[in-house]
Homo-oligomer: A and B are copies of this chain.
Amino acid sequence: MAKIVVDVMLKPEILDPQGNAVASALPRLGFTFATSVRQGKRFEIEVVGDPTSEQLAEVEKAAEVLLSNPVIENYVVRVEK
């Protein structure tokens, strides 16, 4: 069944201590692929049936006021199978 996913990431210019911690741990474990790591949140929202466009609009609103803090974060809403 499809679900709605909201990805919330710190804005690029905002310090990301968690991402930095991961970025500096990786090479210590021998992983050298990353030039940068950012860590954010992923919300998986289930609705009854398949998401409607009204629901998506509502989720957008919720993402704006509850799931993210627009002062420091950006969000993306999408449907995932």
A residues whose Cβ falls under 8 Å from a Cβ of B: 4, 7-9, 19, 22, 25-26, 29, 31, 33-48, 55, 58-59, 61-62, 65-67
Contact = CB atoms under 8 A, between A and B. Distances in A.
5 contacts: A22-B66, A26-B66, A31-B58, A31-B66, A40-B43
A66 B25 CA distance: 8
Contact of A48 (B26, B35, B46, B47): B35
Contact of A40 (B19, B22, B44, B48): B44
A33 B58 contact: yes
Given A26-B66, A66-B29, A38 B44 contact: yes
Contact of A41 (B26, B40, B62, B66): B40
